[in-house]
C-alpha cells in the first residue's frame, strides 16, 4: 500500500519479513498468489470495518457519513500506484476485488437507504435498488485512473464530492436540516 505492487520484489518482502525465499515460497508459489492474498486480507478488513461502522449507530444519516469518513481515510492510506498496478498487471485480481467491493457497497447502501427512509432522512420516492447501483458504479469510476487521473485529482477530494453529491440527491428536508444544523458532514469529513 505504501510503495505500490510492481516496485516491491519478492526479495524485498523476504527482507522486510526477515525470512528466506524458500520460506516465503512454502506459503505462496508466485507474486500473483501473494498479491491475491494481500488484496483478500485487505478486503476482509475493510468489510469488517464497514459492518462495524454501520452497526455502531442506529442513525442512517450518521452511518452514511461515518462510512464516507472511513473511505476517505482508506483512500489517504493507499497510494494511487497500488490501484494502477492492480489494474495494469493483475487485472483478474482487480476485477474480482472490484466486483466483491461493488456488491458489498450495493448491499450496505440498500440497508442504509431503507433505514434512512424509515427514519425520514431519505426521500421515500427514490428507487433504492437503482440508487445503490448508481452509487456503486460511481465508486468504480472514482478508482478509474482514466476518468480521474491521480496527477490531476486527489482521490480523497473526489470521494468527498461523490458523497456530497449522493447525500444531496437522497435527503429529505429533515435530513438536510440534520446534516447542516448539526454540521455532521463537514465535522466528520474534515477530521
pTM for the whole structure: 0.83
Q: Give the C-alpha distances (Å, rounded to integers) separating 76 from 8, 65, 99, 138.
A: 20, 17, 22, 19
3-state helix, strand, coil in the chain (%, to 5): 75, 0, 25
Angle between helices 60-77 and 91-118 (to 10 degrees): 160
Per-residue pLDDT tens digits for 22-73: 999 999 999 999 999 999 999 999 999 999 999 999 999 999 999 888 888 8
- As a whole number of angstroms, the distance between CA 62 and CA 56 comes to 10
Residue ranges covered by each domain of the chain: 30-190
List the CATH code of the domain at 30-190: 1.10.357.10
Per-residue pLDDT tens digits for 142-162: 878 889 988 899 888 999 899
Amino acid at each position: 500500500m505504501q510503495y505500490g505492487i510492481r516496485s516491491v520484489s519478492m526479495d524485498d518482502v523476504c527482507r522486510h519479513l526477515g525470512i528466506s525465499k524458500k520460506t516465503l515460497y512454502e506459503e505462496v508459489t508466485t507474486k500473483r498468489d501473494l498479491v491475491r492474498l494481500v488484496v483478500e486480507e485487505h478486503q476482509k478488513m475493510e468489510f469488517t470495518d464497514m459492518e462495524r461502522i454501520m452497526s455502531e449507530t442506529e442513525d442512517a444519516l450518521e452511518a452514511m457519513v461515518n462510512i464516507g469518513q472511513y473511505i476517505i481515510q482508506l483512500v489517504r492510506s493507499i497510494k494511487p500506484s497500488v490501484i494502477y498496478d492492480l489494474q495494469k498487471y493483475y487485472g483478474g485480481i482487480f476485477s474480482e476485488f472490484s466486483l466483491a467491493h461493488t456488491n458489498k457497497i450495493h448491499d450496505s447502501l440498500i440497508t442504509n437507504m431503507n433505514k434512512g427512509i424509515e427514519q425520514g432522512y431519505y426521500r421515500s420516492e427514490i428507487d433504492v435498488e437503482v440508487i445503490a447501483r448508481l452509487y456503486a458504479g460511481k465508486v468504480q469510476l472514482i478508482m478509474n485512473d482514466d476518468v480521474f487521473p491521480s496527477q490531476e485529482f486527489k482521490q480523497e477530494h473526489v470521494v468527498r464530492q461523490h458523497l456530497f453529491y449522493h447525500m444531496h440527491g437522497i435527503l429529505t428536508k429533515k435530513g438536510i436540516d440534520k446534516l447542516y444544523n448539526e454540521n455532521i458532514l463537514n465535522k466528520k469529513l474534515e477530521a
